[in-house]
Structure 1
Amino acid sequence: MEPEKILNISVDCVVFGYDITTKSLNVLVIKRFLEAEGKVLVDDYVLTGYHVYKQETLDQTATRVLKELTGLTGQYKKQFKAFGNPDRLTNEKDIIWIKNEEFNLRTITIAYYFLLKTEDVDVNKNKYQAKWFPVNNLPELGFDHKKIIEEAYEDLKIKCLSEPIIFKLLPDKFTINEAQDLYQSILGIEIDNRNFRRKLINKKYIIALDEKQVGVSKKPAQLYMFSLDLYEKMFKKNYLINI
């Protein structure tokens, strides 16, 4: 038997993914398409979201959303805001979609964001026609999902300076330049190379490895790793790095 839904409460998930090759912070969205009698009524993109089941916590719903979209579990997630304006679903295309899907026009959504690497999601085999878009170059979005993404992004900018969450977006072994590129991609600013390097390698929880890059055309760079155990032992709350 299908679980019973709470018809006016949903969870929407902003999935951030970092592409280390293009140095781009991206958002994963899915295709929303509807046609009738040969006429296209809706053709845009939306975040992935579902109604909350009555026996679920909000966190469980968010975890379910991500698993159904990507097949992944155990990723970093944060609940950051509820969106409940009465007019949040009243765009003409949204009303058409809502009538077709038969869900509540006055739906309140609890928004989460997840952090993962773009390479961990095979979009070519995704049944939802999921696609990555740069966070600063989004397609036409349905509902109030552009606003939700923008607010998630602002929260991520603040969070990445106070907690070591960027390492969820990097390989387990990374170079200082790769860490700097990621910070620059998230914050949208240029960071002084020398100053950044000095601050990062002086952190005791950034461990220098006896390894260097392989398969690169230029001089291979030193590899590092982030030690969560050391970080948690040393700090209850501390700014990871001051830009």
Structure 2
Amino acid sequence: MANDFDICIVGLKCYDLLAGESVPRYLGGIEKVLVSLAKGLAQEELKVAFITYDHGQPDAIEIDGVTIFKSFRPDEGLPVVRFVHPRMTKVWSTMRRVGAKIYLQMGGASETGVVGLGCDLVPGRPSFIFNIASDGDCVPELPFLHLGREIWLYKQGLSRADLVISQTRKQLQLMSENFSINSTTVPLPVIGPGNDFKPPAPPEPGHARVLWMGRIV
């Protein structure tokens, strides 16, 4: 299928955020980053596709300039075998339907390998970009992966990536030292305020405001 998409982002849990649902089923840092990236690229007039779970939404629906393709239902398939079918096979068939020039996936997981291997199945062998989500993606222990198949698939995807994006210089160093992979550091995308944004009035004397930038760990 020749859609001539410039890039396709694979983020299975991102549909609700893309659709602007008030109570999304999934809400995490990766999801917010990928949605911001997709909308930002669309605003730059790139042709952007996105692959998500099938929640019963129409296929190939366009929202904010991003065309969303559905893959498989989260509860679809039989235990054990569903890891391959439909979870891997339907992502691959959706990637072929999209036919993008570039595929991007974020966060070290089995999904990394699924997308990396899937690029080998798309005609013309599109480029694969892997975006590091945290330091845990860059260390040999891979603390967020617990099953052997997850670790194997992640490493398969990592080895197939045409470009690895790190968020920090530390991640760049860790990826080089532990996996012998050269990454490129790119700051996270952030959607700025709209034209109608009005900054709040400065605080009254003795009533200072505090803005917490970060998290408690």
User: TM-score when scaled to structure 2?
Assistant: 0.29
Per residue, is there more strand in 1 or in 2?
Answer: 1
- Max Rg structure: 1
Q: Does 1 or 2 have the higher relative contact order (CA < 8 Å, sep 6+)? A: 1
